[in-house]
Structure 1
Amino acid sequence: MRVDLFDFDLPDASIALRPASPRDSARMLVVDGATRTDRIVSDLPAILRPGDCLVFNNTRVIPAQLQGRRGNATIGATLHKRESLRAWRAFVRNAKRLREQDEIDFGNQVSATASDRAEDGSWLLTFAGTEPVETLLGRAGHMPLPPYIASKRPTDERDASDYQTMFAELPGAVAAPTAALHFTPDLMAALDSAGIAHETLTLHVGAGTFLPVKVDDTLDHKMHAEWGTIDAETAARLNEIRAKGGRVIAVGTTSLRLLESAHRDGAGIAPFEGDTAIFITPGYKFRAIDGLLTNFHLPKSTLFMLVSALMGRETMQAAYAHAIADGYRFYSYGDTSLLLPSK
């Protein structure tokens, strides 16, 4: 499909620079088939049905942005995927000043050697020493805010907590699963009281999620792989929920992509551990989920293509036009949408 079919005009004023407070007071556009309703996130227990299940991503964002020097050159790096115990694939700023086997000094006794430049321009950074890389990042790294926020203000201490979900447990993501940022302990208690279950899986979100689509046709776009896992017990419980008539609703596109990657025809959602580079565009047949809670996405992004595949492109273009006109806040710190496709 042509990428320009997924374009729309978005005013800069629509981009949220801070999250709502409290988190569950964010606005929520409910798109149920052809019906649109303006609600807030704390309404979820009244909107979902007993027996439904929300699926959260329990990845934890690491301080994956680094600023260092190679000789007289300033080098910026954003880690996006672990390749081994001490090596991460990274997107590098000022990469023209970098050569194979150059050492980058990131300060605070943290350094890495650059090698194996890939076709997408990323480098493999192998960190020196024996301390865990997470320890090194804790000394020298910064929270990797999305570029559409970082370009408007610097990262600060608030982001260390604002950009983590209440489910964050397993470190490894370089971007937050932002739909889950709206959840609070009080909201989870209300959902539990309403008979709405929840499960967790892990997908370590990579920086590739922020990369623009630079081709004219979706067939020519290559997704970056991300590592994820669903254990056998979780898969079995999710299959049981659907067998009993409950709906599996992914909280965030990361949860959705992993659930769809784990689905096996005839077996339902199966245990999964490994990389996924699934790219969902209109025409895709969803097999593992019955709904999606997700924030508002960039024009011409793979994520807007995904929600268009779920609900229909014209439906989502109209929903986004309504959201913009009605003052909804977009992107990672913005408001959210609950998408329930017609069966």
Structure 2
Amino acid sequence: MKAWMLDEPGKPLALREEPTPQPRRGAVLLRMEAVPLLSYTRAYLEGKLPYAFPPGPFSPGTNGIGRIEAVGEGVFGFRVGQRVAVNPYWRADETVPEPEQVLIGLTGISAGSAPLLGDFRHGSLRELAEFPVATVLALDGLEDVASSRLAALGKFSVPFGGLRRGRLAAGETVAINGATGYFGSAAVLAALALGAGRVVALGRRASSLAKLVELGGGRVTPVVLTGDSAADSAAIREAAGGGVDLAFDMVGQATDANATLAALRSLRRNGRLVLMGSMQVELPIPYGEMLLNNWELIGNFMYTRADYLTLVALAASGQLALDAIDVATFPFAQLEAAIDRAGAAQGLQCTVVAAEGERAWG
């Protein structure tokens, strides 16, 4: 079978013939049908990000959609031929205070995660891929949706976990900071699917915000940020009709804290702010304001298995608008072109490499 292999960061990817793996105990073998690409895939492959790589050579690739080709011993809830989503966020199933955790096909996370990362070092960019059964989710009820479209679930999973961690309740008002970004735009649609009464979409590009307003059915209000924290906070509060219940920060690589502070100060009393972005500077917390307003500050990494199950259920019920995502699909052999496209993608765009039946592997 064919697989894209990376010998070490900075070296070119190579499409090679590799031995067909057999699933170990507690694992499944998937025939991959569609794999979404992260916007920073090129920088990752070139070793420009501070990530802990799997031992090489390995196949990169995180999320994906595939069908079960074989099941290992000790797998009880899945069957051959079943279509599943790959969730690369794998935590050791051990009764310890802080189990080791990795993102399969991408990086180690916790300090002692190297052995875990090496145990399943290959990701989803291969025709046949083996994953721990704990990282796959059944897609029953979504038979009529193309795998390339379902691959967009990976775009929703991260912000969905943050919104659930922030306890977004039906009817509440939520402000999404970074709403024009890759994950932030998905956060707006996820908040709508979770029943938010109003979503205040924050960004610096009015044109990108306009698309979200169109999709919001009257529940999305845009605020174009100026960089003036006080003015932006006032604009958010006005758009929210007095303040927001939950603020969600999903800005990537921010070099100042003004937008995040504006989101914080837009909260009603007892409001919550969830941090899931990658700001490059310190966040100066207003101690007195936090105290007097009973504000809650929540740092969140990724999502839980229960979050992903709920995400799939919302997609199956039609409450999550997967068809709002602009999916660009490339054949498997054209991965380099797909990586370039992913790096240029904005907002509601998603880049996918797909198998025969979606588009040929090549």
TM-score by length of 1: 0.29
Q: Quick one: higher RCO (CA 8 Å, sep 6+), 1 or 2?
A: 1
Tell me the TM-score normalised to structure 2 length.
0.28
